[in-house]
Amino acid sequence: MIDYGYDKLIGSQIRNIRIEKGLTQDAFAAKLQTGGVDITRSALAKIEVGQRHIYAFEIKAIKDVLETTFEKLFP
């Protein structure tokens, strides 16, 4: 059985940092797409609640767009 608790925790961290930066889901998704990562607002919403897997290249792009550290994304 897969434990999705960590996915939810990471998603929550992404959401909190996004809100701290004053970005809406739409604006955040647009910045990711501009950077070459095809994440829609709907996919981002699923990531933030732990319902969608995040790939390594997406994590790096999320970190870069949010101007944060891996340590803050992974508590």
3-state secondary structure string across 21-56? CCCCHHHHHHHHHHCCCCCCHHHHHHHHCCCCCCCH
Q: What is the pTM of this model?
A: 0.90
Which tens digits make up the pLDDT trace of 9-63?
Answer: 999 999 999 999 999 999 999 999 999 999 999 999 999 999 998 999 999 999 9
Total count of domains within the chain: 1
Task: Answer whether 62's CB lies under 8 Å from 14's CB.
Answer: yes
pLDDT tier at 75 (50, 70, 90 boundaries)?
A: confident
Range of the domain at 39: 5-73
Kindly report the CATH number assigned to the domain that includes residue 36: 1.10.260.40
